[in-house]
Homo-oligomer: A and B are copies of this chain.
Amino acid sequence: MDEARHGTSESTELRLAIMRLSRLLRLETAATDLSASRYAVLRWVVTSAPISPGRLAELERVTPPSMNRTVNCLVEEGLVTREDDPADGRKVLVRPTDRGIAVVADTQRRRDAWLAGRYATLTDEEQAVLARATEILGKLADA
């Protein structure tokens, strides 16, 4: 490949394809009452409970006061609970409610359906390529 001549490399093309598809996945399947930021936090709580507000702030790369507000909203909406850590009075534990768990499950289901519908239009060979690519993309993210 002559990058200087083409102007774009293979990894550039890959980046554009990924950003485009992820944008569609976010926009086309929003469909929750929850905002993207609240949903992201809820998902961390569901997958990693019990979890502290500080850790959530770290994971979402926002400041602790900001995360505090988001957690408050989720509590008010009945999607998560806050409780004091019995082992350390400074700490707080956040856990999902049954409804919080259900919201995440429903959203994942909807997103899967959107992509699966398109995935099904591909040939078997194309699907096989994407299956291999999925592993490799995982390696890229971990690298």
Contact = CB atoms under 8 A, between A and B. Distances in A.
Interface of A: 9-15, 17-25, 27, 61, 108, 111-112, 115-116, 118-119, 121-122, 126-127, 129-134, 136-141, 143
B133 A15 contact: no
B143 A121 contact: yes
A112 B25 contact: no
B25 A115 contact: no
A77 B23 CA distance: 26
A116 B129 CA distance: 21
A118 B143 CA distance: 6
18 contacts: A9-B116, A10-B119, A10-B134, A11-B115, A11-B116, A12-B115, A14-B134, A15-B112, A15-B115, A18-B18, A18-B21, A18-B22, A18-B137, A21-B137, A22-B22, A126-B139, A129-B133, A132-B133
* Chain A binding surface SS class: helix
Given A21-B140, A133-B136, 11 more contacts: A11-B116, A14-B115, A14-B130, A18-B25, A19-B22, A20-B141, A21-B137, A22-B22, A115-B140, A126-B136, A133-B133
A112 B25 CA distance: 22
Contacts of A18: 18, 21-22, 25, 137
Nearest to A123: B136
Given A14-B119, A19-B25, A136 B130 contact: yes
